[in-house]
Amino acid sequence: MTKTTAELMMEAETLVSYGAVPDRILDDALPDMSWQMSREEFLFRGIGDHLFHYRRGKGITVHRGADADAAHESLWLNGSVYAAIASMNGLLPIHASAVAAGGSVFAFSGPTGSGKSTLVAALGNRGFRLFCDDTLVLDLSDPDRIMCLPGHKRLKLTSEALDLAAVTPQERVSPELDKFYAVPASGEVGVAMALAELIFLEEGPHPSITPLSGSERLMRFQDDHYTAQLFATARQFDRAGMFAHLSNMAQRIKMSRFVRPMDRARFNESVEIAARHVENDAD
Amino acid sequence: MNRVIKLSERFTEAAIDDEIVVMRVDTGEFFSLTGTAATTWRLIDGNRNRDALLAALADEYSTDEAAIAADVDDFLAQLKETGLLADS
């Protein structure tokens, strides 16, 4: 199937080569697990002598020093580096996991540990194909619809989530993390699709999915996740610019809140509610 | 009577569905205006004074000015207190 302009751009911009990279692109030194961004460049330092340098139009150069941990490399490339490149090239990465239904995308957002990945994995057992895990990249260029780029990360689940979602684990993500790669039960989507809805996960005793009002949508779209920080830095928003962005997203994106108990015994009940909602709202 | 004016250099606003969301740019505070509050905000055009605003609202909602005067005065006072409004 034909790829969108945004997909082709991301493919070209995220090509990786290995070689020498600068240790900073701004004046200050770059500590472990931090990044610097200028108009044309992005530099991320992992742990120790492990650097990722992106230049617009030139792709990514990785410097992996002798003490660098290769197991982390794909996590950082697919995490901060990918989100930075998307942001610097006009795309919007958001902290969400998503499934596809009826030719469009239903995304679930919430803080780390809120159950995004577990929910989409469980929805996979009900026939919904995985669209992305953890980061959803949006292309805002079409005024009539927001397109989602297909996921670039493998599904990752904790051992508890694997059990809850009844998914078979593959290899461990890294020795330090209690997370395992997993294959989604209904497969993955590999093409861009329009965003149908963004659903925010909340905890509460009575499961329900309800639409958010205009101001609630604006407020909920604010995020302190690294994807939002990278996007804000790339766009160099002042307060008014950020407000204009948030209100634009609130106007364009259908958003809901999904309240459900964080209770293992009621997990299937929550998944069933999510599945019915997605089925009913799909085209 | 003085005209009621918005201190437009202090805020930015957006209409989302039937709400108006206003943000003070110096503090980042948000205000959500719905229903009659949103209508009142829309009718504050810099030309109307308090009485003209009251008349326009009464016309909009097909009611007596006296019935809504106290609520409108309260709302205008709140907007002045939050730094979004002044009398010219």
Q: Show the tokens assigned to A204.
A: 């509460």
Residue A94 to residue A179: CA distance in whole angstroms: 21
Backbone angles phi, psi at A238, to 5 degrees: -90, -175
On chain B, the residues whose CB falls within 8 A of the CB of A219 are 30
CA distance A223 to chain B (A): 15
User: Measured between CB atoms, does A22 come within 8 Å of chain B?
Assistant: no
pLDDT at B77: 96
pLDDT at A176: 82
CATH number of B37's domain: 1.10.10
- What is the interface pTM, i.e. ipTM, of the complex? 0.90
- Chain A interface disruption, residue of B21, B26, B27, B34, most A CBs within 10 A: B21
pLDDT at A48: 87
Nearest-Cα residue of chain B relative to residue A219: B30
Is B21 in contact with A215 (Cβ distance < 8 A)? yes
pLDDT at B78: 95
pLDDT at A67: 85
Which B residues in the span 29-48 are in contact with A, Cβ-Cβ below 8 Å?
A: 30, 32
Q: Report if residue B88 sits inside a domain.
A: no
Lowest average pLDDT, out of A38-47, A151-160, B16-25, B55-64, goes to: A151-160
pLDDT at A236: 95
Nearest-Cα residue of chain A relative to residue B12: A240
pLDDT reading at A237 higher than 90: yes
**If you write DSSP's letter for every residue of A27-61 in order, what string do you get?**
SS---TTEEEE-SSEEEEE-SSSEEEEEETTTEEE
Average pLDDT over residues A108-123: 95
CA distance B28 to chain A (A): 7
Among A213, A244, A248, the residue with its CB nearest the CB of B19 is: A213
Lowest average pLDDT, out of A102-106, A110-114, A136-140, A257-261, goes to: A110-114
Looking at chain A, which runs of residues are DSSP E strands? Answer: 16-18, 34-37, 41-45, 50-55, 59-64, 92-101, 104-109, 129-132, 135-139, 147-149, 155-158, 169-172, 179-182, 193-203, 208-211, 255-260
Lowest average pLDDT, out of A9-23, A171-185, A209-223, goes to: A171-185
A51-77 pLDDT, tens digit each: 999 999 999 999 999 888 888 899 999
Q: Report if residue B49 sits inside a domain.
A: yes
Residues in chain A: 283
Residue B69 to residue B84: CA distance in whole angstroms: 20
- Chain B interface disruption, residue of A215, A246, A253, A254, most B CBs within 10 A: A215
Which position has the token pair 């008349």?
Answer: B55
pLDDT reading at A249 higher than 70: yes
Residue A182 to residue A34: CA distance in whole angstroms: 28
B9-58 pLDDT, tens digit each: 999 999 999 999 999 999 999 999 999 999 999 999 999 999 999 999 99
pLDDT reading at A78 higher than 70: yes
pLDDT at B4: 94
pLDDT at A283: 63
Closest of B12, B82, B72 to residue A242, by C-alpha: B12
Is A251 in contact with B23 (Cβ distance < 8 A)? no
Q: Is the Cα torsion angle A137, A139, A143, A145 positive or negative in sign?
A: negative
Tally of domains in chain B: 1
Q: What is the residue range of B74's domain?
A: 4-83
The full set of domains in chain A, from first to last, is 5-88 (no CATH), 92-281 (3.40.50)
pLDDT reading at A175 higher than 90: no
Backbone angles phi, psi at B79, to 5 degrees: -65, -35
Which A residues in the span 42-81 are in contact with B, Cβ-Cβ below 8 Å?
A: none
Mean pLDDT of chain A: 94
pLDDT reading at A282 higher than 90: no
pLDDT at A2: 87
Residue A15 to residue A58: CA distance in whole angstroms: 8
